[in-house]
Amino acid sequence: SKQGEREFETEVILMGRLHHRNLVNLVGYCTEREHRMLVYEYMSNGSLADLLSSESKEPLKWDWRVRVSQDIARGIEYLHDGAVPPVIHRDIKSANVLLDYSMRARVADFGLSKELSDDVAVSGFRGTFGYIDPQFIATKTFTEKSDVYSFGV
């Protein structure tokens, strides 16, 4: 689909220039006719969503929860304040946070992201229901605050 092509192109362009320890690294990509593939570094501990929904025997320790929250916040901070131009992710959620071999969190899935130099007002719904900033409903505009709201959810 055209939407899928745009998301693929957005992700390739952004991930080619965004480099931070709390973002998943794009290793390469391939396009062949209608087939497109992104290759990321292997994140051996899966997604935060998978971990939170698993039937774990022990509750997650508070120090680990704080560290993961800090990792995600640092990734978002880099997108908003360290990237030039700044980037709004627009789909921060636990399924888009991946855990590496040492259980460090990294923000992933940049297909819906927008550079702040772009016109960030959008005419249609983007993101995941339940994580969308309520202000977006009123203004139809994503801002850095939208990502912060989604992070809080």
Q: Higher pLDDT residue, 87 or 55?
A: 87
Nearest C-alpha neighbor of 68 from the set 44, 100, 43: 100
Q: Which of 63, 71, 91, 147 is catalytic?
A: 91
Q: Higher pLDDT residue, 77 or 116?
A: 77
Share of the chain above pLDDT 70, in %: 93
**Domain boundaries along the sequence of the chain:** 2-152
Tell me, yes or no, if 147 is annotated catalytic.
Answer: no
pLDDT of residue 118: 55
pLDDT of residue 54: 87
Q: What is the pLDDT of residues 130-143, one digit of tens each?
A: 888 888 888 888 88
3-state DSSP: the chain helix, strand, coil percent, rounded to 5? 40, 20, 40
Q: What is the pLDDT of residues 39-65, one digit of tens each?
A: 999 999 999 999 999 887 688 899 999
CATH 2.20.25.10 corresponds to the domain 2-152: no
Q: Determine how many CB atoms are found less than 10 A away from the CB of residue 33.
A: 5
pTM: 0.90
Question: Distance between CA 32 and CA 23 in Å, rounded?
Answer: 26
Question: Distance between CA 40 and CA 70 in Å, rounded?
Answer: 22
Q: 70: which 2 tokens? A: 């800090």
pLDDT of residue 80: 97
pLDDT of residue 104: 98
Residue pointed to by tokens 């689909």: 1
Residue 122 pLDDT greater than 80, yes or no: no
Share of the chain above pLDDT 90, in %: 66
pLDDT grade, residue 128 (50/70/90)?
Answer: confident
Mean of all residue pLDDT scores within the chain: 90
pLDDT of residue 138: 84
